[in-house]
Structures are given as structure tokens and as C-alpha cells.
Amino acid sequence: MRVTATTVVPDTVGEVRFRATEIADAVGGTLVGDDVDTVGATIDSRALRAGQLFVPIRGERDGHDFIGAAISAGMAATFTARNPVDGITSIVVEDPEAALSRLGGFARTRLGDRVVGITGSVGKTSTKDLVTSVLARSFTVSASEQSFNNELGVPLTLVNAADDAAVTVVEMGARGSGHIAALCSVAVPTIGVVTAVELVHPEFMGGLDDIARTKGELIESLPASGVAVLNADNERVWAMRSRTGARTIGFGFVKGDLRATALSLDEQLRPRFRLDSDWGRADVVLSVRGRHQVNNALAAAAVALACGVDLDDVVAGLAVAELSPWRMELRTTGTGARVLNDAYNAGPASMEAAIRSLAQLPAIRHTAVLGLMAELGDESETAHQRIAEVAAELGVRIISFGEADYGAVSDDGAEVAIGHAADIAEAVAMLGELNDGDAVLVKGSRVAGLERVAAALLD
């Protein structure tokens, strides 16, 4: 069995194959050229594997311009909204993106009943990674790569799922009302997980009640024979149980069918806790870092137990799970400083959790290089100020990066904001000489690209 951060498959996994005629029929396209086998699909010519279907997405750059590169990489066939290339198997469609969605829906009909949909304001990808690791103890599992969770990522997950997968795990994101419902119409999940409702992307998603309505579309989509796994400590998530006839399983520190007690963190920020559940009690040691990962682990345990995984295998799967890149990665520089790289993305809830995790690392100086928390709209100034206040409370110094502005907050006369860095070199220079008395967090929204600062510190 091979286990990675994003996908778990057996060593002899059966490949999903679609004939070009099948694809054309499924998406309402016209086949031009030979009827060939395809093995999965991709929208990125640079990542294309031989035998795949290439889907040219028309965004800031038109994917049709990269069909030549896809041919060179060994694609089997391509969607196209242009005139087909001579000698190349092409499926002519009006809209390649819509065709990919229809192909995802067709692929779903070839998968088994167990499709797990995961959404929430925070923790979606980490929960997906944990769910995948635990389920792999008992099943052949296919899962979303990285954070492929939108109208492109979800159908790609389904199309690329192994045809002998007993469980498929699908991450679902949203940019507004109706988005989750649209993804569910393609993925048709039978198990739904909602990690949390927090203030994330309010510029597009609205307030907390709006976010809850959108995230709850996953729970509304479940069949009566399905399972809803809900954060019982989050009021808006727990209220979603009224929106489904499916069986409900709650998790949390305070309430729920699965609860974490006796929590502690080691010097690497790895949690230990006692799992109390309707399935029994067990001591859990996580391989991932941060107190906030405990809720994600509880959600993963709930999914696995609902699928019939033995409690001992749940514990074993959680102990070896690995997260996708740039999520609570802890490394040590050549001079002994600790660097906590949580740079993949950031919102108010995840930023506060990361700051609190940094403060728990054994060090004399705790410094956070923080980028912008994007898409907060009118809440932006207040949210950034709140993070500065948390840092002040915990004695964490802040270097703001790029367009971020965390203000100058002082606690007992000590300035917390120590400067603003315009680029990577300036951020590294402001940190100065680091040694074993230093712990540094790098975190910001995806647009900040703060993983580059972590790489520079560790180089």
C-alpha cells in the first residue's frame, strides 16, 4: 500500500479508462479522429501524463494554446472548442469547462456508493488528508489532489479516481451561494463533512449565516441513507443536522459522538489526546501539528468509523497521516532556529490558530512573518488588528509582508509589529541572525506566496 499526502492507492491499482466515444457521448461532444483509450484527465499540460485527456480551460490564458505541449507530453485526446488539429483525437465541445463537469458526473456513475464530500471554512484539505489516511487502513481510496476543490478540481477528482476505489474523498470549496450544491450535483456524496463555519472570504461569501447556508448545501444533498459528520462545538455547523434526513455524527471537544479529552502537545506541536466515542475509547497520537488539527482528526475518525473501520485502525491511520504541502510544516535551520511553514492560505481563524501554535514552541523569541489575509472586504482592518492583538497577548513579534498591515500594537510597552517587508530578501534581513532561541512562523493568503520566505530561511 502506498500512502501519500493526497492520494492512497494500492500498488496494483486499476486505471480508470474511458474510450473517446464514451467521453463524447457523456459530454454531448463530437469525436474527430481515432477512438482511443484515455487514462484520466488534466487541465495542466505541464503535469500531463501519457494517455490522459487534456482539457483546455479558457481563463486568463487560453488552454487551447497549450494543446501542442500536451501532444508532445503524450496526451491521448483533447477537448477543443476550436478547429481540431489534424491527426489528433479531439472531442469538439462548445465549452471545455462545462464538458469536464459533465464528464465528472459520468465518472461518478462508475464509482461505488461511498463518496465523501468535505467542506468548511477551515481545515478542508487537512481533514481530507486525515480521512484518506485512516480509510486506507481498510479500503482502496482515491482522493482530491492538493486543494482541488472547485468546479474544475471536483470533476477531475472523479475522472481520475481509480475504477476499483472503494471510497472516493472529494474536497469542496465555495465562492458563494449555490456553489456547493453545484459540486454535489456532480459528485453525489453519500457522506458529508463540515469542519467549521468561520469568517472567511466575506467579500464573496457574506456573513457567518450566509457562509453556513452555503456550506450546509453539502448536508442537504445527502441521501437519507447517508451520513452527516458535523462539528458539534460550532453552533452553525451543528444546526445543519436539521437540514438532512441522513444519520448525523457529531465531533468536538465539548459535545458530540466523538470527543477529545486530555489534550497535550509535544515539543513538535504534535497532539496527544484521549478519544471518547460511541465506538469505544482510545489514546491518539497525531503525526500532524497544532491543536486545531484535533478537530480535523475527530472528523476523520467519524468518517472511518461510520464506514466500519476498526477503532485500532483509526488510531493507526491518524498516527501516520501526512498533510499536503505548506500546512504546519516544522523544520530547523542550520543554526537551530525553528521555522513553522503554514503558508498555503490564511483566514482569521487559521491565522489565530497558527499564531497560538507558534507561541507554544520552545523558544526565546517568537516571530511571525505574516502576509495579507485576502478577501475580507469591510472586515479586513478589524480582522488584521485582531491578529495583532493576539500576537501581543502571546508575546509574538510580527513582520508584515507585502500588502499586509497588522498595525503597531504594544503590550506592556513592547512593540509587537517590528516592521514591514516589501519582499523576501527584506523579510529575511529583518529577522536577522537566527539561532536555537528563535521560532518563526510564515503564513498568509495564497497570493502572498510566503512559502518562499520559509524556503529562503531553510536554504
CATH of the domain at 52: 3.40.1390.10
Q: Show the CA angle centred on residue 68, arms to residues 64 and 72, nearest 5°.
A: 140
Structural domain ending residue among the three candidates 290, 320, 350: 320
Residue where the block lists cell 488528508 = 129
**Region 138-150 average pLDDT:** 91
**pLDDT value of residue 418:** 72
pLDDT digits (tens, 9 = 90+) for 261-309: 999 999 999 999 999 999 999 999 999 999 999 999 999 999 999 999 9
Same domain for 316 and 351?
Answer: no
Domain boundary (96, 124, 149) is at 96
Distance CA 260, CA 57 (A): 44
The Cα–Cα gap between 378 and 244 comes to 33
Number of domains in the chain: 3
In this structure, what C-alpha cell is assigned to residue 109? 456513475
Write down how long the chain is.
459
Task: Return the C-alpha cell found at 383.
Answer: 480582522
Predicted local confidence at residue 1, as pLDDT: 36
Same domain for 361 and 297: no
- Phi, psi dihedrals of residue 208, rounded to the nearest 5°: -60, -40
Say yes or no to pLDDT of 405 above 80: no
Supply the pLDDT for residue 452: 95
Average pLDDT over residues 76-94: 97
Q: What is the CA radius of gyration of the chain?
A: 23
Whether residue 410 is predicted with pLDDT greater than 80 in this model: the reply is no
Residue 139: φ, ψ to 5°: -135, 160
Mean pLDDT of the chain: 92
Nearest-angstrom CA–CA distance, 422 and 4: 35
Beta bridge partners of 330: 340
Closest among 433, 427, 380, 376 to 399, alpha carbons compared: 427
pLDDT at position 413, please?
A: 47
Q: Are residues 438 and 385 in the same domain?
A: yes
Strands (E), 298-337: 329-332
How confident is the model at residue 7, as a pLDDT?
40
Is 12 contained in some domain? no
Tell whether 60 is covered by a domain: yes
- The residue that leads in pLDDT, 158 or 446, is 158
Q: How confident is residue 459, by pLDDT bands cut at 50, 70 and 90?
A: confident
Please check whether residue 15 is in contact with residue 39, taking contact to mean a CB–CB distance below 8 angstroms: yes
Q: How far apart (Å, rounded) are the C-alpha atoms in residues 332 and 347? A: 26
- Domain assignment of residue 129, given as a range: 110-320
8-state DSSP, 424: H
Average pLDDT over residues 217-243: 98
310 and 374 housed in the same domain: no
- As given in the structure block, the three cell numbers for residue 188 are 453525489
Residue 58 has pLDDT above 60, yes or no: yes
Question: How far is it, in rounded angstroms, from Cα 35 to Cα 37?
Answer: 7
